[in-house]
Amino acid sequence: MSSTARILRGARRRARLSQRALGERAGVPQPSIARFESGATIPRVDTLQRLLRATGHELETQPRLGTGVDRSQIRALLRLTPAERGDLAVAAARNLAAFKAAARIHARSEPD
């Protein structure tokens, strides 16, 4: 079953509507809704939107994960050898340990 089919069927069931009742509300024939929910056909976006609205839901778009991510640092790390990446990891661990130690000292020296 396609994700579109699962979304439509779930929305219809949460609204406690039969396929026929949803069809009447949205102006879509019940057999079409059955084909959409089974995944046999995929509705046009405007049809899906009309069906979801009839169930009290809304069709929204969201950016894909990773869109707008600056991958230049990832590429730079991938150009390094495994040994170079290991050296960077060791240095980062040392820096983190030093930071934690400094934070503990600072916290103890703070007046209450």
The tens place of each residue's pLDDT in the chain, 112 residues long, gives 789 999 999 999 999 999 999 999 999 999 999 999 999 999 999 999 999 999 999 988 887 777 777 888 889 999 999 999 999 999 999 999 999 999 888 777 766 6
Report the residue count for the chain.
112
In CATH terms, the fold of domain 3-54 is 434 Repressor (Amino-terminal Domain) (1.10.260)
CA atoms of 32 and 28, how far apart (whole Å): 7
CA atoms of 89 and 85, how far apart (whole Å): 6
Tokens representing residue 71 in the block: 């991958």
Handedness of CA 31, 43, 57, 14 (dihedral sign): positive
pTM tops 0.75: no
